[in-house]
Chain A
Amino acid sequence: MGIIVLAGLALCLAAILVYAARWLPDGKEDDVAERIERLLPRIQCAQCGFPGCAPYAKAIAEGSAEINRCPPGGEGLIARLAELLGRDTRPLDTSLGAASMHRTARIDEKRCIGCNLCARACPVDAIVGLPQAMHTVLEAHCTGCELCLPPCPVDCITLVPRDA
């Protein structure tokens, strides 16, 4: 009799546990990639070689990317990532550019030919202008990522300190 009661109890508890494991949140929601992404500057500058901050965070989490590839985040970010992941800090990879959120792109409006290439390259839609007409940068939204520099055929875009 005792065996039957115990077996029945065990079965019930097992059923509850299986149910709980399947339907209740398992705590993995807050996974490593998301925590890394929250530390990143999230300005989507793509200087790391990945098309945005989320893919870079994923690559770091998988171990396929170094933690020193984010110029806007700088050394402070490397230190925080190293702490989170238990890896060693290393100096910033300076070959990737010098994107900084303290700078903003500015178009020399006299030289702009209205080719629209920069507007198409901007990851945050911070450049406006019609084809064949002058373009301009919405400085409040510009992240200073430098992605608009290479496409410009007349080199009329420069990065200036944000307060100037």
Chain B
Amino acid sequence: MREFTPDRRVRGGVRIAAHKQTSTRQAIRRGLIPRQLILGLQQHQGSAAIPIVEPGQSVLKGQTIAHSDSLRSADVHASTSGRVRCIEERLIPAAHEVHRSLCIVIDTDGQDQATTTRADWPDDRLERLARIRDAGIVGLGGAVFPTADKLSSHLPCRALIVNAAECEPYISCDDMLMRESAREIVLGAKMLRELLAAEECIIAIEEDKSEAIDAIMQAGRDLEDESIKLAEIPAIYPSGGERQLVELLLGIEVPSTHYPSMHGYICQNVGTVFALQRLVSTGEPLTRRIVTVTGDGIAAPQNVEVLLGTPISELIEFCGGYGNDVSRLVLGGSMMGYALPSDELPITKASNCIIAAASAEVRHDSREWPCIRCGDCGSACPARLLPQELLRAARSRDHPQLSELGLEDCIECGCCDVVCPSHIPLTEEFRRAKYAHARYERQLVFSAESEQRFQRRGQRQQDQARESAEFQDQLKQNLSEDPDARERAIRAAVARARQRREQDEQ
């Protein structure tokens, strides 16, 4: 394995206190079996999976309990054995918000009995992709994009990037996974590289995770692997964003509105790679993930391997419960995460980190000052936007201007919020403006279509009127040219009628 440091740096971004040491002091803890599992059927964009079990039915660990019948969706599996209690709508925390989804609720029996899984791994590419799809594997970095969809591109893969940057503060689940399972990750990267026929494969890790880097290098040496490169990237948030990573490692800027995968750059989170390797070696579907439980409001911050569907309250209990001072529960990192309304919500495939923030960790000063046009937000923006101009357009609902300024390219990383000396909640404003802007753009398309349909209808009516007038004119002209024509036409019609009557009588 070859180690290198890219000679470029991401545009913009900020250096922020990482707060990761608190949760990396002890090894990943395993063995939590909650009393109840709440498994959401729509943990991603796209359509929901359809339940194939009934209330009262017994299920085993790893059994498929909901099936997806379309692309951009993923199967759901029971994370442990038990009995289905009910199937009902509940709130689950998805990638960017808490939303309502049909959920399968399972009362666990504590036996953790697994179904038999197929341990063989097919040779055919399509069969492999089908197995990945059936295993319900999605991107575990937070966006929950179904992995099989991402891998089934027909474009030649120029580079496979294993994203282990983990640039968000507080989160350390990928770091801990690499320290403990480096060998599986390197094997998984090799497997993926073969599956994609990728020209090169790069594992990207932020330079401050030296233990993870050492572990991966050691695994590379043990496996005598020369095909994979390891990039030590600067610890600047948000270098772990897909676009930022492609630009940093390869010097290529992915065009606006395109995904990196449309240009042959496939990024996979390191947790996803590990889940894929587990599927290859044991046939186990996606039923668990590593979650960082941290923050000053938690008794014992640590990383835990959690069964999907575990209620957050039970996970926190497993980590020694809350401390004395908890003012907010956040899902995800401190930059892009969001506050949870309750700890009764379950862990989903998207949940990488739970922060029980003490009051000192939360910014209470919400007083906003006027923009002083310092331009710091513009130099911090990794997407090359002008946040202060965007803010003005967003607040005056100037949609044409928002399109021009590239609101859609905002990755909602929050860098502009951090650097703003006036404490303006820019990202919050942009997030809201995006909804309104999407509605505005749909409306524009609808208006243009309606106008076109109206014009075509007008054209058609004109054409019909003209054709009918021409036909009348033709008739009149025929009659006026030959005065006997009218008489002849009538006689011919009478003759035809008589002939038909005679035929009928016969």
Where the two chains meet, the residues of A that have a C-beta atom closer than 8 Å to any C-beta of B are 41-44, 52-53, 101, 123-126, 141, 143
- Residues 450-500 of B at the A interface (beta carbon under 8 Å): 450-451, 453-454, 456-457
Q: Which residue on A lies nearest to B452, using beta carbons?
A: A124
Do the beta carbons of A141 and B453 come within 8 Å of each other? yes
For the complex, what is the distance from the CA of A42 to the CA of B449, rounded to whole Å? Answer: 9
Do the beta carbons of B454 and A52 come within 8 Å of each other? yes
User: How many A-B residue pairs lie within 8 Å, measured between CB atoms?
Assistant: 33
Do the beta carbons of A43 and B457 come within 8 Å of each other? no
When distances are taken between beta carbons in the complex, the residues of chain A under 8 Å from B52 are none
Do the beta carbons of B453 and A124 come within 8 Å of each other? yes
For the complex, what is the distance from the CA of A31 to the CA of B456, rounded to whole Å? Answer: 24
When distances are taken between beta carbons in the complex, the residues of chain B under 8 Å from A143 are 446, 450
Is B111 part of the contact surface with A, judged by Cβ < 8 Å? no
For the complex, what is the distance from the CA of A52 to the CA of B457, rounded to whole Å? Answer: 12
When distances are taken between beta carbons in the complex, the residues of chain B under 8 Å from A101 are 443, 446
The size bracket of the interface on B is 10 to 19
Most B CB within 10 A of own CB, among A42, A53, A125, A141: A42
For the complex, what is the distance from the CA of A52 to the CA of B456, rounded to whole Å? Answer: 13
Q: What is the minimal beta-carbon distance from B332 to any residue of chain A, in angstroms? A: 30
Q: What is the minimal beta-carbon distance from B450 to any residue of chain A, in angstroms? A: 5
Q: Contact partner of A53 among B451, B453, B457, CB < 8 A?
A: B451
Is B17 part of the contact surface with A, judged by Cβ < 8 Å? no
Do the beta carbons of A42 and B451 come within 8 Å of each other? yes
For the complex, what is the distance from the CA of A149 to the CA of B394, rounded to whole Å? Answer: 39
Do the beta carbons of B450 and A42 come within 8 Å of each other? yes
Q: What is the minimal beta-carbon distance from A118 to any residue of chain B, in angstroms? A: 14
When distances are taken between beta carbons in the complex, the residues of chain B under 8 Å from A52 are 454
When distances are taken between beta carbons in the complex, the residues of chain B under 8 Å from A43 are 446-447, 450-451
When distances are taken between beta carbons in the complex, the residues of chain A under 8 Å from B449 are 141
Q: What is the minimal beta-carbon distance from A72 to any residue of chain B, in angstroms? A: 10
For the complex, what is the distance from the CA of A143 to the CA of B451, rounded to whole Å? Answer: 11
For the complex, what is the distance from the CA of A53 to the CA of B456, rounded to whole Å? Answer: 15
Do the beta carbons of A124 and B457 come within 8 Å of each other? yes
Most A CB within 10 A of own CB, among B448, B451, B454: B454
Q: What is the minimal beta-carbon distance from A49 to any residue of chain B, in angstroms? A: 16
- Residues 403-457 of B at the A interface (beta carbon under 8 Å): 443, 446-451, 453-454, 456-457
For the complex, what is the distance from the CA of A125 to the CA of B448, rounded to whole Å? Answer: 14
Q: Which residue on B lies nearest to A72, using beta carbons?
A: B447
When distances are taken between beta carbons in the complex, the residues of chain A under 8 Å from B446 are 43, 101, 143
For the complex, what is the distance from the CA of A124 to the CA of B458, rounded to whole Å? Answer: 10
Q: Contact partner of A123 among B443, B447, B448, B457, CB < 8 A?
A: B457
Q: Which residue on B lies nearest to A40, using beta carbons?
A: B447
Q: A43-B451, A44-B454, A141-B450 given. 18 additional CB < 8 A pairs? A: A41-B443, A41-B447, A42-B448, A42-B450, A43-B446, A43-B447, A43-B450, A44-B451, A101-B443, A123-B454, A124-B453, A124-B457, A125-B453, A125-B457, A141-B449, A141-B453, A143-B446, A143-B450
